[in-house]
Chain A
Amino acid sequence: METSQRDEQFYRSMVRMRAVETELLALSSAGQLRGSLHLAQGQEALPAGAGAALRKDDYVTATYRGHGYVLAKGGPLLPIIAEILGKAAGLGGGKGGKMHLFDLEYGILGTNGIVGAAVGTAAGAAWAAQLQKTDRVALTVCGDGALNQGHVSECMNMAVLYQLPLIILCENNLYSEMTPLSRSHGDVNLAGRAAGFGLNTAQVDGNDPEAVYQVMSEAVNRARTGGGPTFIEAATYRTIGHYQADSGIGYRTAEEVEAWRAKSPLDRWAAKLGKRAPAIAAEEQAAVRAVFEEALALPGPDPLAAGTQVFA
């Protein structure tokens, strides 16, 4: 794909994600969406760039904030939104919700509510791909804070030991909830930590979808060809609160948030596309709106389904 085509694809992907989040935030504010809502405003370039570097049959696991990667993997929007809204036609029949999105057909092995937990899942899928002698790869997305889970360290070691086709994309947005990196990491060099385990490492501007795409493509190519796991540290920032009840201010200065807003990947790519941007944005927003309207009208799950599917 040519760069200009990719630029449009990135912009569409980012606008779509933002439109989905805008709808969800409105529903949550109106008390029409259950549970916690972890949004990723400001971080849209990461799923856009990473998604474009993957094949449909590659695997993805992500966090409670990882709906963008599910969208960017290319599956139809309706079952994703339906699940987030707790509808029977959702990916998990309304059982999982937004923190627990699964879609085997598109290699989505779960967004996850437990910090760090999804790293093992992706490493295991990468292991299966290797044992099955396919060239599929697995991407796992985690936060900066997740690197402090013992599970993540264990998996990094095994990824190197077995030379797994795994990419760990670490969204370093400088905070875990309300705690800054400086108060949670003895050494804030995250890529350095991964290098200590022997992973290939790269650092990237996480607000630049093209740069993310390039570094991801390199890592994916390496993984596909037996070159082992890569850890990518992406510098980014959520310009919104940790979840719907957090203003995002107090533990961060307004200046800091504003400085990062100025680096919004959406604005950057809108400027890049120039006059074409508004029409593309309007098209994506309308498509998302239509899916939400359809999803909101869907029936909820049958209460009798509550006790089913505990086992296969």
Chain B
Amino acid sequence: MRVTFTVNGRPQEADDVWEGESLLYVLRERLGLPGSKNACEQGECGSCTVRLDGVPVCSCLVAAGQAEGREIVTVEGLAEHARERARAAAPRTSDTTGASDPSGSGPGASGTAGTPLDAARAWRAHGADPHTGDGTELAPVQQAFIDAGAVQCGFCTPGLLVAADEMLERNPNPSDADIREALSGNLCRCTGYEKIMDAVRLAAARQGEAV
């Protein structure tokens, strides 16, 4: 069957999808977006976490056909998603005419925004280079993971980033308990979680400073 849906703000089509296939498989194998990881295929590890109409879900447990017409955000689109969110939240500076911002529809809205499939496929996580200031393309939560040393093998990282980013969107001042709860569906075999906690605290603190 064919599945037509929006991925990272852009309309996409996947053909020859088997009816029992998971959204995770479609993203990785049919759309060439391997950012979402497959570690368990049974909802236990969270490394396949994506946003489905804004809501964090395990993409390994969503049937591909259930994604028809829905909006997906994967880790490859996270930076753009965070930028859109910041843009939508930013106070309007030259709003003297009273005209409203036609593009102020927030993250996930289609149109010219979003991450094209080619760009998403070619996406690389460049850390901020302290010399060049390069790396502004990362979402704040991604930068915080790098700065806090929260990435070892990196297999859990995409799912954690999507889950952490969504929590920070809902809850800009999370307590440690809030962070643990929000990330309780994401397993990491390497870090022992402390650096991940540091990273999310750091992202929250930076987000607070920015406003």
A joins B in a complex:
no
